[in-house]
Amino acid sequence: MVLISTDSPKLQALGEVAADLMRRIGMNVDPQVTDWGTVVQRRAKKEPVAQGGWSAFFTTFSGQDLLDPAGYLALRGTGERAWFGWPTDARVEDLRAQWLASGDPAQQRAICRDIQARAMAEVPFMPLGQAFYATAAKRDLTGILKGFSTFWNVRRA
């Protein structure tokens, strides 16, 4: 049971492509195509699929949500308190605590590599890609940072 939202063309495309890929690799896929509000309600259900639960849903994060282990919800392993899917992984939580306690950037990078390796082994979520959004601004503005739209550092030339 995969939940696919039709409210956002981006999420609908992600869901349709992923469902097709899942079928191609031999998975039994039952797409439930609906609006985002229904996806949000259904993804909160922890029951088995036969009782209204789900197996996968598709969403996106902004780059700022994924900058580091402190705020990366999909990488939490706190079970019932974790993000949807409720993964339990004491090791990734221990690594996250080490990262938070460390003030050494080199050590934090090493811990991040360990967290990423753990995520690829335990698979609490499946990253499907990366997107960049085109932005435009008036010519007399300077200091615009590349990536997700932010409104600091911008000045008139």
- Is residue 153 within 8 Å of residue 144, measured between CB atoms? yes
Q: Are residues 16 and 30 in the same domain?
A: yes
- Is residue 110 within 8 Å of residue 87, measured between CB atoms? no
The last residue of a domain, from among 16, 36, 57: 57
Q: Are residues 69 and 40 in the same domain?
A: no
Q: Are residues 68 and 100 in the same domain?
A: yes
The reply to whether 51 falls in a domain is: yes
Q: Are residues 51 and 10 in the same domain?
A: yes
The reply to whether 147 falls in a domain is: no
The reply to whether 140 falls in a domain is: no
- Is residue 89 within 8 Å of residue 118, measured between CB atoms? yes
Cα separation, 87 vs 70, whole angstroms: 17
What is the Rg, in whole angstroms, of the alpha carbon atoms belonging to the chain? 19
Q: Which helix (H) or strand (E) holds 155?
A: strand 155-156
Overall number of domains in the chain: 2
- Is residue 115 within 8 Å of residue 100, measured between CB atoms? no
Q: In the prediction, which pLDDT does 128 show?
A: 85
Q: In the prediction, which pLDDT does 61 show?
A: 85
Q: Are residues 36 and 52 in the same domain?
A: yes
Chunked mean pLDDT (size 10), the chain, 157 residues? 94 94 95 96 94 92 82 92 94 97 96 95 87 80 78 86
Q: Are residues 8 and 53 in the same domain?
A: yes
Q: Closest Cα to residue 84, out of 119, 125, 128? A: 125
Q: Determine the structural domain holding residue 112 and report its residue range.
A: 63-122
Q: In the prediction, which pLDDT does 148 show?
A: 66
Cα separation, 101 vs 34, whole angstroms: 42
Tell me the pTM.
Answer: 0.78
Which residue is it, tokens 């390796």?
Answer: 117
Q: Are residues 28 and 71 in the same domain?
A: no
Helix (H, G, I), strand (E, B) or coil at 111: helix
The reply to whether 8 falls in a domain is: yes
The reply to whether 133 falls in a domain is: no
